[in-house]
Amino acid sequence: MEAVLSDYDLYLKGFALTVGLVLVSGVASLVFGALLAAARVGPIWVLSKAASLYVTIFRNTPLLMVFIFVAIAMPRIGITFKFVEEIAVGDWSISAFFFRACVALTLYTSAFVCEAFRSGINAVPLGQAEAARALGLTFTQNMTNVVMPQALRAVVPPLTSVIIALTKNTSVAAAFGIAEATSAMRTLGNRYGDQVVEIFFFIAIGYIVVVELLALGSYALERRWKVASR
Amino acid sequence: MSAGVLFDAPGPKARVRHRIYTVLSVLALAGVVALVVLRLADKGQLEYALWEPFVTPDYLQVILDALTQTLKMAFGAIVLAIVFGVLFGIGKLSDHAWVRWPSWAVVEFFRAVPVLLLMTGLWLAFSIGDGPLSPFWCVVIALTLYNGSVLAEVLRAGINAVPAGQVEAAYALGLRKSQVIWLVQLPQAVKIMLPALVSQCVVALKDTSLGYYITAPGLTAVMRPIYLEFQNQVPTAIVIASIYIVVNILLTLLATWLQHKLVGERKQLDVPMVGAGTTSTT
């Protein structure tokens, strides 16, 4: 108990970093994943195959391997992302470690985001688009009024799963020099060897809070967008 | 409208446009690949000396041993996870609230907590210094708890996917509740679940690499001594990643084959990451 209370600072900083990683790499992988999905379902054969190759590679590589590529292998060929440390907003700047972790998480998560979007689009029955065209709607009207609203609703649950997985995956950054929540547990555990169980539960509760907040947010979106269907 | 919901079958103008885009994207992709290869060659990463360990029998033996360790951890975790999953999956479906709620709490807890946190917690509590568990078993137990919880949820969804008429018919024939579960619901649910189970093997296999953080053996852990000896970080990462990818693709192919063989064209059973109430399953 006292371990967490006396080092409350470490605990809070750890979760602040975890949330920071989730926000930055979450937004980045939503954008990149959406681009991938566009290439994946688009009419250009080559782009579709390239996106599918990307998804296959990154879905089958452990996240830790992606981290090793970004943090250990890429510096060998001169890509260290050191330049981000030059950028400073006021007295606040990003460390290269944080940036690398975000790059690795984004590369990995985008593959899953792409698949989530694709499954959302596939969930729209073909007859919907056909009916819309038969009624004389133009392509744009068809997209904005018929296909996308349905795809967007279908995409919320799988996308939430992906973002929740991302939240848990940020823990891997602990192995690469980021003092986020899991690494905070290791530090605290080393410091107070006799209180490991309490420390573990405290950190676990922190993760559960973040994950449940995401789940509740998604549930609220679902409720809000729900249409009287069937 | 063969192309799907997103666009019509292209006309002559669109076909020309698509052809132009195709050529442009081929050029762009080829450019990216060329850039990567040039960069690697420029930094001397394509020299034979750096790749030599991966054609040397002794080192191949080391890598093969590491692969065996990884597969052992994944296999052990999956077997134990199936046991865990069956126990808690059926627990969640129990008619008794005092069985249902604890099972629910255990499953939700282990699904919401990062595997690495579990692993590190186990390692700190039971392994570091001279604890009773080796890092190997910390990995296996952590993966069992996580994958078992996911499988419990898969099992619940699988049992719920068995048509209600089956259960009603079984009760009408006078079967007891346990008989209905073991003789009617489970055998049919297993068929629906099997592809999801194999997909979970891919997850378990990938997560064994997290043992790197707690000094467990395995494919990821074997990289460090190799690249420290030869300073060949890039080739090592490429080779080891390829091994993971090949094994996982084989497993995915097995899952797809099982899906076609056992379930037909229906979508693979999918469970949301968290909260049984948040999204409707199947």
Summarised one tens digit per residue, pLDDT across range B7-61 is: 777 889 989 999 999 999 999 999 999 999 998 888 888 888 888 888 888 889 9
Chain A CB contacts of B6 below 8 Å: 41-42, 121, 129, 143, 147
Per-residue pLDDT at B232 exceeds 70: yes
Question: Does B191 touch chain A if contact means CB atoms closer than 8 Å?
Answer: no
Widest pairwise Cα distance in chain A: 72
Cα distance between residue B36 and residue B241, in whole Å = 17
Give chain A's mean pLDDT. Answer: 87
The residues spanned by each domain of chain A are 2-225
Task: Write down the pLDDT at residue B278.
Answer: 36
Pick the CATH number of A2-225 from 1.10.3720.10, 1.10.357.10, 1.10.10.60, 3.30.420.10: 1.10.3720.10
pLDDT category at B109 given cuts 50, 70, 90 is very high
**The pLDDT of residue B84 is above 80:** yes
Neighbours of B58 (CB within 10 A): 7
**Directed axis angle between helix A148-169 and helix A196-225, to 10°?**
170
CA angle A191, A195, A201 (to 5 degrees): 110
- The more confidently predicted of residues B124 and A94 is B124
Express each pLDDT in B190-217 by its tens digit: 888 888 888 888 899 999 999 998 888 8
| Cβ distance of A200 and B1 shorter than 8 Å | no
Instruction: Quote the tokens at residue B266.
Output: 């229906």
Length of chain A: 230
Q: Enumerate residues 6+ apart whose C-beta is below 8 A from B117.
A: A171, A181, A182, A185, A200, A203, A204, A207
In the predicted model, is pLDDT for residue B281 greater than 60?
A: no
Q: A136 in contact with B at a CB cutoff of 8 Å? A: no
**Res A179: pLDDT:** 84
pLDDT digits over A120-147, tens only? 888 888 888 888 888 988 888 888 888 8
Q: Which amino acid is at A87?
A: I
Whole-number Cα distances in Å, B250 to A120, B201, B202, B237, B243: 26, 11, 10, 20, 11
- Give chain A's radius of gyration (CA, Å): 21
A47 touches chain B (CB under 8 A): yes
Q: In sequence order, which residues have a C-beta less than 8 Å from that of residue A65 and are 6 or more positions away?
A: B209, B220, B237, B240, B241, B244
Confidence of residue A91 (pLDDT cuts 50, 70, 90): low
- Cα–Cα distance, B237 to B245 (Å, whole number): 12
Whether B80 has a pLDDT exceeding 60, the answer reads yes
Residue scoring higher pLDDT (B133 or A90) = B133
Lowest mean pLDDT among A85-89, B69-73, B109-113, B226-230: A85-89
> Is the pLDDT confidence value at B271 over 70?
no
| Partners of residue B201 in chain A, C-beta under 8 Å | none
ipTM comes to: 0.86
pLDDT digits (tens, 9 = 90+) for A200-217: 898 899 999 999 999 999
- pLDDT tier at A95, thresholds 50, 70, 90: confident
For residues B95-129, b (16+ Cβ closer than 10 Å) or e, as one string? eeeeeeeebbebbbbbbbbbbbbbbbbbbbbbbbe
Query: A92 by DSSP, 3-state: which?
Result: strand
Each residue of B169-187: pLDDT tens digit? Answer: 999 999 998 899 889 998 8
Q: What is the pLDDT of residue B277?
A: 39
Name the amino acid, one letter, at B206: K
CATH superfamily of B55-263: MetI-like (1.10.3720.10)
Mutate which of B36, B46, B120 to test chain A, going by most A C-beta atoms within 10 A?
B120
Closest CA to B116 of A63, A95, A29, A104: A63
Q: Is A95 in a helix, a strand, or coil?
A: coil
Q: What was the pLDDT predicted at B1?
A: 38
Comparing CA positions, the residue from A4, A37, A14 lying closest to residue A210 is A14
Alpha-carbon distance of B33 to B203, in angstroms, equals 29
Residue A156's nearest CA partner among B149, B267, B6, B272 is B272
| Residue B241 banded pLDDT, cuts 50, 70, 90 | very high
Residue to substitute from A171, A180, A198, A208, interface B, most B β-carbons within 10 A: A171
Q: At what angle do helices A96-122 and A45-59 cross, to 10 degrees?
A: 120
For B268, left (φ over 0), alpha (ψ -120 to 50), or beta? Answer: beta
**CB atoms inside a 10 Å sphere around CB A133:** 16
Q: Which helix (H) or strand (E) holds A93?
A: strand A92-93
What is the tens place of the pLDDT at every residue in B249-261? Answer: 999 898 888 888 8
Domain boundaries, chain B: 11-43, 55-263
Report, as an integer, the average pLDDT of B123-132. 82
What H or E segment, with its residue span, contains residue A88? strand A88-89
